[in-house]
Structure 1
Amino acid sequence: MEYMSSCSSSPGVSPLLVFLKDQAASRLIEKVIQLSHKALLRDIFKNHLKGHLVDLALHPIANFVIQRLTAATAKYKMFVRLFDELLEGVEAILAAGHMGVIVQMAESCAENGERQDELMRCLLSAFHCDEPGSRHTSCLPLFLSLLTYEVYYHSDTAEGGIDTQALITTSSDKGRGKILKRLEGQFVPMACSRSGSRALEAIWNSASVTHRQNIAEELAPSESQLRSDQFARHVWAKFALSHFTHRRAHWHEIQTGESKKRKMFSDILE
C-alpha cells in the first residue's frame, strides 16, 4: 500500500486512485483494506480517497474497493464521514447499477448504528416514494425491481430521479431476469403508459429471446386493448406481436436472429 501511494501522479492527486481502477491492483487493495487496522483505514480515507468516493463508486472496477472500505470502517467513527460523502451520489450509483455499494451502505449503517434514517430518506426520495407519506408502504417492490414509483405503478410521469433505462440496460442477464420476475402481471398496464412503455422497451431491447417470449405471452391476449392505446400500439408493433400470435415460429426465428446480431456486435466491441 505504501508503494502504491508513493508512485508519481498528478499534483494534488493520490496515485492510489489510478490503482483502484486497475482490475489486478484493485483486488490487492481490497484485501489490504479488509485486513487493515483503524489507523491505516483512516489514512486511506483521509489522505487518498476523501472527495473521490462517489466517482470511485461509479467506476466498474473501483466500486468494489469502495464496498470493502464501507464494510471495513463500519465499526469506526470515520464511517459517518465516508457515508455522508457517498450519500450525495446515491441516485447516480443506483443509475450505474452498482447495487452492491448501496447494500453495503445499508449493512454498515446497521452495524454502526448511525445514519439509517438518512439512508432511508434518500432511497425513498430516489425512488419517488417519499411524498406523500402513503407511498412509504409501496417502497419495497420499488427497491426490489429498481424502478421508480411512477414506472412501477404506471403513472404517465416521464421524469424520474433514477434513469430506469440505464438501470435495465446495464444490469446483468440475471439482474434483468429479476426485474422481469417482479414485473410479471404488469406488462399490459406498463405498455399503456408513457413512462411504462419506455421502460418496457428498454427491457425488450436488452432481453434474451426467452425473456422476450415471456413478455409477449403476457401481452398477446390483450391485443384489442394494446392496439387501441396511444402508447401500447407502438409496443405492439415494435415487439411484432401480430407475428407472435399468428406466426409464432417465424417470430421466434426473427428474435433469435436479432439476439445473435446483438451478441456478435457485443463481442466485437469487447
Structure 2
Amino acid sequence: MHIQEKSEFESIFEELADHFQEIINEGHTGVIWALAEGCKRICTKQGPFFNKILKGLNCLEPEERQSSMIRCIAKMQKFEDISKEEDLQKTKLNLHGTLILQILLDFNKPIKIVNALLQMESKELKSLFSNTMGSHIVDSYVKSTFVGEKSREKLIWKMKGTYQDLASTKYGSRSFEAIWNSAGLKHKMGILDELCCKEGLWSHSEHGKIIANKIHLSLYKRSKEEWKNSFNSIDKVKEFLEEIKK
C-alpha cells in the first residue's frame, strides 16, 4: 500500500476497520499487514489499528484476554483457537502476524504490546525468540525509538536463565545477539556470568561456538578486568566511527 496522502489512507482504513475479523477469516492477512505499514509510515490511526486487530482476533475484551495478544497476533488466530501449551519455537507462525508485531513496536505508543511481551513467561518468550519468524521481533523491540531504555532493561532481566538455550540454537542465537548488542556493560557481565555456568552444555554447539567467540567468553573467564578493558576499547572505536559518519 503506497498511498502517501493521509486523508486517502484514513478513508481506506475506515472502510476496512470493522472488517478485520472477516479479512483474517478469509486468510487475507497481507491486507492487515499493509494497513499496519501505512499506519506506521503516515503516523495515523495507530491506536485504532491496535484495537481493531485485537477485536478481530477476539482478544480485546474481556481485558484478561489481552495477555494472549502476542500468541494471537503471531499466529493470526482468534483467542479461542490458540493453545497456551503449544511450543512457539516449533509451531508455524504467521508471517504477516510476526511482521505486524514488529510494526506495532515501532508505533508511537507501543506500551501495551511491550507490556504484553514482558508479561509472558520467560520460557514462552525463549520459545518465541527461537522461532525462525519470532526471532525478528527482538530486533524491533531493542531498536525501536519508542521502546524506552527501562523496557529494554526489563527484557534483559526477563530473559535471565534462558541465555544458554538462546545462544545454542540458530534462531535463538539471532535473538541473543540482538539483546546482547542492546545491553550495557553491567547487563553484559550478568549475561556472561550466566553463560559461564555449565558452559559445555551450550558453547560446544555450532551456534554456541560462534556466540562464545563474538562475546569473547574465554577472555572473560580468564580475566574480567581484561574483558572490561577490551569492551571499553571496542566502544571507543564504535564512537569514533559514528563521529566519522556524521
Q: TM-score, normalised by structure 1?
A: 0.53
**Offset, 1:265:** 3.9
**Amino acid in structure 2 at the alignment position of 1:260:** K
Conserved in 2, the CA contact under 8 Å of 1:168 and 1:203? Answer: yes
Note closer, same or farther for the CA distance 1:204–1:244 as it changes in structure 2 (3 Å cut). same
| Structure of greater Rg | 1
* Structure 2: gaps of 5 or more residues: 24-30, 61-65, 89-113
Which of 104, 115, 127 in structure 1 is aligned with 2:74? Answer: 127
For 1:169-180, what aligned pairs fall within 5 Å after superposition? 169-170=143-144, 171-180=147-156
Contact 1:129 1:135 in 2 (8 A): no
CA gap 1:253/1:169 in 2 versus in 1, 3 angstroms: same
Hey, what does 1:186 align to over in structure 2?
162
TM alignment of 1:173-252, pairs within 5 A: 173-252=149-228
Match of 2:142 in 1: 168
- Please, what is the CA RMSD of the aligned residues? 4.9
Instruction: Name the structure, 1 or 2, with higher relative contact order (CA <8 Å, separation 6+).
Output: 2
Distance in 1 (CA, whole Å) between partners of 2:118 and 2:188 is 21
CA contact (8 A) 1:157 1:194 kept: no
How much does 1:156 deviate?
5.8
TM-score (norm 2): 0.57
1:200 Cα offset (Å): 0.5
Q: 2:127 aligns with which of 153, 157, 163?
A: 153
- 2:17 aligned partner: 81
**C-alpha distance in 2, partners of 1:224/1:239?**
16
Of 37, 50, 54, the match for 2:10: 50
C-alpha separation between the residues in 2 aligned to 1:135 and 1:221?
29
Give distance in 2, aligned partners of 1:103 and 1:246: 54
What's the counterpart of residue 27 of structure 1? none
Query: Pick from 130, 143, 165: which aligns with 2:117?
Result: 143
Quote the sequence identity (%).
15
1:145 and 1:263 map into 2 onto residues whose CA distance is: 34
Flag structure 1 segments of 5+ consecutive residues without an equivalent: 1-11, 18-46, 54-77
* CA 1:186–1:203: 2 relative to 1, 3 Å: same
